[in-house]
Each structure stands twice: as C-alpha cells, then as structure tokens.
Amino acid sequence: MRDTAIGQLESSHRRHDDRLELLVAAAEQLASGHGGPADLEELEDHVTWFARSVPLHFGDEDEVVFPALVAARAELAAPLAELSAEHAGLLAAHDHVREGVLAWNGREPPAASLPAFVAAVRDLAKRYRDHAAREDALFAAHRVKLDDASLLAALAVRRGR
C-alpha cells in the first residue's frame, strides 16, 4: 500500500488513528484519578509526535497529492478543497491539546481542568477520524491512475529525503 502516494496517505491515517487511540486512553487514564507521571509522559510524547506528523501529512495532501488528483479528475476539486479547508481547524485543535499538555510542565494538572481536557482530546480524535474516513472514502470511490513515481519523489523531496 505504501508504494503509491494514496497508499502513503492511507498508511498515515492508520498511524494517526493508532496514536489518537493512545492519546485518548492516556487522557482518560489521567482524568480517572489513577494516572500518574507515565501518563503525563505519554501525553507529551503523543502531542509532540502529532505536532510533527500532522502538518507534514496535511502538506503532503495539499501541496502534492490533492493537486495531482485534481489534475487527473477535475470533478474532485470541490471535495478535495473542502477537505483541505478543514486542515487549519484540525491543526488548531491539535495545537490546543498540545498547549494544554505542555503547560503542565510534567506536573499533574489540576483535577478540575481534566474533564475539559478529555473532552477536547475526544473531540479532536472524532474530528480527525471523521476527516480521514471521508478522505479514504473519496480515494476508494475515485481510484485514479497517478504517476506514483513522480508523486513519491515529490513527497520525499518535500520531507527533505
């Protein structure tokens, strides 16, 4: 699956799904009153990973793959533009969660703030999963023959490889 540009995006979606599941679990564990330093470290690890991964992923879509899809199938322009338009809001939601975690400076947060934090994490996870599912469905419904060698090279260059 990773030998195509679409396959790389879909693999990225699965990695994000896995990390979102771990992020939600760590937030819920901390909020349950049974969490501790390991959960804080896990939250820091996840939000730091997302801060690197998600902008790269969205850039891959917006700068390389989506334009290639539109060039191949003009009717995809509107749905891909709608998906791209959601990226800023998803990045802001990731930043909001990350800022909350990093503001704790490795210390356990006030218990009163945890319900809102867990709600923000769950909301982020739902919004991101819904977004990725719509992308995956669009890719599946509109199998497009792309020049994957060129796209994979462009993705590698974009990421400094």
User: How long is the chain?
Assistant: 161
Q: What average pLDDT values come out for the chain (161 residues) when binned by 10 residues? A: 84 96 95 88 96 96 94 95 98 97 90 94 98 94 82 88 77
CATH annotation of 5-158? 1.20.120.520
* Whole-number Cα distances in Å, 123 to 70, 81, 152: 30, 22, 32
- Rounded Cα distance between 143 and 114, Å, is 43
Q: Which residue has the tokens 């992020």?
A: 23
pLDDT for residue 2: 65
Q: Where are the alpha helices (DSSP H) in the chain?
A: 5-31, 37-59, 66-72, 77-103, 114-141, 148-158
Phi, psi torsion values for 75, nearest 5 degrees? -65, -10
Sorted by where each begins, the domain ranges of the chain are 5-158
149 class by beta-carbon count within 10 Å (0-12 exposed, 13-18 middle, 19+ buried): exposed
| Single pTM value for the model | 0.91
